[in-house]
Structure 1
Amino acid sequence: MSSDSERTTVRTYIPAYQKEQWQAHAEELDMSQSEFVRTMVQAGRSGFEPVASETTESDAAESESEEPRSPDATPGGDGLEDRVREILADGDYYEWDDLLAELTDDIEERLEETLQELQSNNEVQYSGRHGGYVRDE
């Protein structure tokens, strides 16, 4: 059962320079990074109105319970298609392993940063004795 004050995690991936800009702006406003992102998303959402279109009775009933959606370059996608197009735009041929490497080149760095952040927030801990990470409940 969820309540209005229950919190959950939302994850997104952005370029490193953008994260640095957001962190700097959050510091200027004396806000945590989470508070800054949450505030900016809520402020930005006010500019998105649902697009008028023909709706069926079931669509209308369903939309009453949903919040307006923002436009998405790849609706229902995770941006992978756009990233593959971007990589292949140079006209070169990529073998599977090379393409995979292009797509995952920064995953280790992102994982390390994420684990460091989660550890600093006391959400995750590393145990050398157990040889891995675990949620810190």
Structure 2
Amino acid sequence: MSEQRDESRVTVKTYVPAYQKDEWRDHADELDMSQSEFVRTMVQAGRRGFLEGETDDEQSPDSSATTDTTDGGDLEERVESVLTTGEYYSWDELLAAITDSIEDRLEATLADLQDRNVVRYSGRNGGYTLVDS
């Protein structure tokens, strides 16, 4: 028997620098998304690299539910590893240190997809797209 998810909407509040909110708003507008939809999608997309052992459905960026693993697994190890190298890290410094490997993996994946002619980058359109079959 599968566990039921609470699909009701709740508010999540966070604080970011004004320039960052402006960038997110502009990017959301480019994608024809609401700011809430944009942030939710980006958070879920970012979580994919940290959540091992979940199904694709549980990691779906369209899902409004967020799964919080109590053991933290790999993420806890990454945080502890970064923190052992210095005394104090700001949120932004810690986030940058932890997400660096995701950026590297994304870059390598995009390069591979471009080499196989699955994805192409268009400077004119400002982004990546699937190559038409």
Same fold (TM over 0.5): no
Higher relative contact order (CA 8 A, sep 6+): 2
TM-score, normalisation: structure 1: 0.38
Bigger CA radius of gyration: 1
TM-score, normalisation: structure 2: 0.39
